[in-house]
Amino acid sequence: MMELDLDTVSEIRKKAVEFLFEFGPKILGALLIFIIGRIVIGFLIKTIDKLFVKYNIDASLSSFLKSFARAILYVLLFITIASNLGVELTSFIAILGAAGLAIGLALQGSLSNFAGGVLILIFKPFRVGDTIEAQGTLGSVETIDILYTKVRNFDNRVVTIPNGALANNSIINLSEKPTRRVEMSIGVAYGTDLKKTRQIILDILKKDERIHADPAPVVLFTSFGDSSLDLSVRCWADAGDLWPVYWDNMEALKEAFEANDIEIPFPQRDVNHYYPEGIPAAKVKGDSEGSQE
């Protein structure tokens, strides 16, 4: 094993001391700039958020702009750190441009998501707080960021959807209109008086103040089912009352049918058993009982 002589050790120590004196302050300065920069960025984002709230800026636009501002501020912070470490700004910008081109080619999907976010903010197919159905997800929009939109579904799971996919595919916005149509499918037994049934249903719906009088509720006979006469009950309510109106009135209609002896049918089948000779089992049993007499 090679041993270092005293002159070599002294030279290494000298070089290390020179390096620390030359670059140590720059590294400490860069670390200090990073810490202070993060604090300043956090303060600026909070200030921007307060201004958006004060001037009642749309929540969708607010979320997008905060994400974009945070990204720009961090880029400026890293440029400042690089400059403090002695990297020439022109060289750094050239390197950043080349890296940006390479990253842009590698992250075409992300650029598509960014463009999708801009389109969502311009055309506003939905806003933060709306209930939407898109990409196989049904839920409430929580945030619209520069690349992704977060949707919280009704079992409290958050689904992150790329903005590009949202901008280029169909979206069902369940909150855009203030009213929704409630539709209930009901079956009654064959032989039921449909006029009487229709009146009972309408009377139940009139008792619910959440149901709008205009358009008026309707009860439509839709089809002859296998075991039932099928009716479609349609009425209108505020969007937020859709499911409570549905659940409450389905239960109320069941109780009203029971009180008025209206039968709610269930599927039934008649099964006839034949012996191999083709004679019905019931006939064979009857003949057997007759012969015993």
User: pLDDT band at residue 57, thresholds of 50, 70 and 90?
Assistant: confident
pLDDT at 1: 44
Task: Report whether pLDDT(18) > 70.
Answer: no
- 110-142 confidence digits (pLDDT tens): 778 888 888 888 888 998 889 999 999 999 999
Q: 172 phi and psi, to 5 degrees?
A: -100, 115
Question: Can you give the pLDDT at residue 81?
Answer: 80
DSSP, residue by residue, 8-54: HHHHHHHHHHHHHHHHHHHHHHHHHHHHHHHHHHHHHHHHHHHHHHH
* pLDDT for 45: 86
The mean pLDDT of the chain is 82
pLDDT given for residue 132 in this prediction: 94
Domain 117-173: CATH class, spelled out: mainly beta
How large is the average pLDDT for residues 88-99? Answer: 64
The letter for the amino acid at 65 is L
pLDDT greater at residue 60 or residue 227: 227
Q: What is the rounded distance in angstroms from the CA atom of residue 32 to the CA atom of residue 269?
A: 82
d(CA 139, CA 132): 6
DSSP, collapsed to helix, strand or coil, labels residue 96 as: helix
- Which ranges in the chain are annotated with CATH 1.10.287.1260? 13-106
Tell me: the pLDDT tens digits for 141-197? 998 888 889 999 989 999 999 999 998 899 999 988 999 999 999 999 999 999 999
Q: Is 3.30.2020.30 the CATH number for 13-106?
A: no
177-293 maps to which CATH number?
A: 3.30.70.100
**pLDDT-derived band at 108, boundaries 50, 70, 90:** low
CB–CB of 186/262 below 8 Å? Answer: no
Q: Which two tokens stand for residue 92?
A: 């750094």
Q: Closest Cα to residue 147, out of 170, 121, 125, 173?
A: 121
- Which residues, in sequence order, are CB contacts of 245 under 8 Å at separation 6+? 182, 208, 210, 211, 235, 237
> What pLDDT band is residue 291 in, cutting at 50, 70 and 90?
very low
**Least confident among 44-48, 64-68, 80-84, 286-290:** 286-290
Peptide bond preceding 162: is omega within 30 degrees of 0, i.e. cis?
no
Of 25-34, 62-71, 82-91, the least confident? 82-91
Write down the pLDDT at residue 104: 58
Report the interhelical angle of 108-123 vs 59-84 (nearest 10°): 140
**Cβ contacts of residue 253 below 8 Å, gap of 6+?**
184, 186, 200, 201, 204, 233
In the chain, what percentage of residues exceed pLDDT 90?
Answer: 39
Is residue 19 over pLDDT 80? no
219 has pLDDT over 80: yes
pLDDT in tens, 247-290: 999 999 999 999 999 998 877 677 776 666 655 555 555 555 54
Tell me where in the chain the CATH 2.30.30.60 domain(s) lie.
117-173
